[in-house]
Amino acid sequence: MSVNFILTEGKKKSKTYEYDYDEYGDGKSASTMVEEILADPEFAGLKELVIGDWGSAWDEECQPIIDGIVEHADLFSHIERLFIGDMDYESCEVSWIMQGDYSKLWAAMPQLKALTIKGSMELTLGKISHENLEELTIICGGLPEDVLQSIQEAHLPNLKKLLLYLGVEEYGFDGDPDRIQTFLEESDFPNLEYLGLTDSEIQDELAEIVLDSKYIKQIKTLDLSMGSLTDQGGALLLEKLPSYPNIEALDVHYHYMSSEMVNKLEELNRWHIAVDASEQEEAYTSSFDGEIYRMPMLTE
């Protein structure tokens, strides 16, 4: 098993567990990973557990890993941060990662403060109820409706950071601006400080929706990065954000705005809003039909 071991925040340790192709060929898989993690003498000292490629992420769900954590919940009681699916495209494209059902994880890990999930194939969150979770991140090429619905109905009274990669229809996103508006209206995260709705083809519409949502009056960071944001959305942000003194940071990196709009947005620093408008992209015009395409950063 390949591992990466880092020291964070003094004695809080993080470790990544993953299998390479050769280990998979020797019989390692999602079914063997939890057993090996528990046998690791360093495991008891960890605060963060990161699961990389389980050797066949494109073909086998990570369900045995989730089930193993739930089955041995007492042995994972020191884990405060969990990331399942941390792998790059060389291991497995994000849209191919086979995820699993997290329905039983919420009750099994009451101490959990942060959960990151990468991939949305076969992903189920179930009924979410957790008193202590502070961060929830879903990284994918397309966020399915049932996952969005689970988050919308979630009981997460201490959630501070919500970061969702919406993605595109081709890879699983089956929502639209009206659906995201409903999500923001009906979800209830009273302590939310960081709202990220990223990586979409409807970024201009999202800017308008978020600026009119209840969360804009309470969050400190607005993240609309990695998508198709143009001058249309940029102008709305420029006009309205100075009205909210609670906003401390705006992340719109990877965008399709003009240099002029970028310069104007960066002037929001006068209002003590830290702006990241890096990674300016250029739209692609089809030579076949003249249609203009603006692709999000992460899809396949």
pLDDT tens-digit series, residues 241-250: 999 999 999 9
pLDDT cut 90: percent of the chain above it: 82
Q: What is the mean pLDDT of residues 50-67?
A: 94
* pLDDT for the residue numbered 293: 78
pLDDT cut 70: percent of the chain above it: 95
Using a cut of 0.85, tell me whether the model's pTM lies above it: yes
With bands split at pLDDT 50, 70 and 90, how would you rate the model's confidence at 23? confident
Model confidence at 2: pLDDT above 60: no
Residue 276's Cβ-count burial label (10 Å; 0-12, 13-18, 19+) is: middle
Q: What is the mean pLDDT of residues 100-122?
A: 97
Nearest to 113 by CA among 153, 150, 161, 155: 161
Cβ neighbours, 10 Å, residue 78: 12
pLDDT tens-digit series, residues 197-253: 999 999 999 999 999 999 999 999 999 999 999 999 999 999 999 999 999 999 999
Q: Please name the amino acid found at residue 66.
A: I
Residue bearing the bigger pLDDT, 288 or 113:
113
β-bridge partners, 49: 15, 82
Whole-angstrom distance, CA of residue 267 vs CA of residue 70: 49
With bands split at pLDDT 50, 70 and 90, how would you rate the model's confidence at 98? very high
pLDDT tens-digit series, residues 253-293: 999 999 999 999 999 999 999 999 999 999 887 667 667 77
Q: Please name the amino acid found at residue 59.
A: D
Model confidence at 11: pLDDT above 70: no
With bands split at pLDDT 50, 70 and 90, how would you rate the model's confidence at 182? very high
Whole-angstrom distance, CA of residue 149 vs CA of residue 163: 15
Tallying the residues shown for the chain, one arrives at: 300
Contact assessment for residue 165 and residue 143, using Cβ atoms and an 8 Å cutoff:
yes
Whole-angstrom distance, CA of residue 35 vs CA of residue 131: 28
How high does pLDDT run on average in the chain?
Answer: 93
* pLDDT for the residue numbered 12: 62
* pLDDT for the residue numbered 7: 44
pLDDT tens-digit series, residues 276-286: 999 999 988 76
| H helices present in 153-198, as ranges | 177-186
Instruction: Give the 3-state secondary structure of residue 25.
Output: helix
Nearest to 189 by CA among 166, 224, 213, 205: 213
When mean pLDDT is compared across 3-7, 104-108, 118-122, 170-174, the lowest value belongs to 3-7
